[in-house]
Structure 1
Amino acid sequence: MEIVVDQIGDRAATYEDFTKVLPETDCRFAVYDFDYMTPEEVPKSKIYYIFWSPDTAKVRSKMLYASSNQKFKTGLNGIQIEMQATDASEISLDAIQERIKDRAH
């Protein structure tokens, strides 16, 4: 399997812009650099790796992406938080922020 960069987002794009481009019926590997403020008002950033595998994707696509996931992920440097999602609620802004809180404890 050949991995091809589908899209590179603009640095000024929002998290909502990022999630809108994930296809509803196909899988993707996605990386997002999430900027946020700590409760102490310190700017921070976390790099997320998201394995997007929606329930509506074809079985063949899900299998192909699942079998390639570990190898692809191993080639990435700097990933701090990994997530797998089957629908948009699992990678909502609230879900992303919750993962940051979980990692802080």
Structure 2
Amino acid sequence: MANAASGIAVHDDCKLKFLELKAKRTYRFIVFKIEEKQKQVVVEKVGEPTQSYEDFAKSLPSDECRYAIYDFDFVTEENCQKSRIFFIAWSPDSSRVRSKMIYASSKDRFKRELDGFQVELQATDPTEMGLDVIRSRVG
């Protein structure tokens, strides 16, 4: 079903890959792209569990918007191994205005389709989603 605000649908593969990341830890990250011609959100790239945060950051284009999910592992002060699933809305300043508008108007609907992430970040440049920012948001 398409989003009334933007007319953008969410491909079933998006939900499927997210469930695999959440339940089975199959992926470290997922990058989603809006295919404007097809009017739907699709999976653009998945990252293997062994890939690093740097690999994830490099997979986001410098001049195009994307949605992304990142599974961040960390150790608490009590020495417990934990993880947080981040939703990142990537909207670089250099991307097209139309693209920013489509991603912004489709975001809430898309987030509702992916039930189970814990932290949301909005980033317009790499420093706004750096590893230090990620770490500061897991507490």
TM-score range, shorter chain: over 0.9
| Alignment deviations for residues 50-70 of structure 1 (CA, whole Å, 9 cap, x no partner) | 000000101011011111101
Gaps of 5+ in 2: 1-38
1:54 corresponds in structure 2 to 92
2:29 alignment partner in structure 1: none
The reply on whether 1:42 has 2:89 as its aligned counterpart is no
Q: In structure 2, what is the equivalent of residue 92 of structure 1?
A: 130
The residue correspondences of 1:1-105 to structure 2 (distance < 5 A) are: 1-101=39-139
Which string of whole-angstrom CA distances, capped at 9 and with x for unpartnered residues, describes residues 1-60 of structure 1? Answer: 201100010110001110111000000000011000001111000000000000010101
**2:118 alignment partner AA:** Q
State the secondary structure of the residue aligned to 1:96. Answer: helix
Mapped to 2, the partners of 1:11 and 1:80 lie a distance apart of: 19
**Equivalent-residue separation in structure 2 for 1:24 and 1:16 (angstroms):** 14
Of structures 1 and 2, the one with the larger relative CO (CA 8 A, separation 6+) is 1
Give the deviation of 1:78 after TM superposition.
1.0
Tell me the percent identity. 50
Q: Which has the higher strand share?
A: 2
Normalising by structure 1, we get a TM-score of 0.94
Q: Could you say which residue in structure 1 is the equivalent of 2:13?
A: none
- Match of 1:7, SS? strand
Runs of 4+ in 1 over 2 A off after TM superposition: none
Q: Secondary structure at the match of 1:100?
A: coil
Q: Give, in angstroms, the shift of residue 74 of structure 1.
A: 0.6
Distance in 2 between residues matched to 1:93 and 1:20, nearest whole Å: 13
Give the SS at the match of 2:83: strand
Separation in 2, partners of 1:36, 1:71: 29
Deviation at 1:100, TM superposition (A): 1.2
Amino acid of the residue matched to residue 79 of structure 1? F
Given residue 120 of structure 2, which amino acid in structure 1 is its aligned partner?
Answer: E
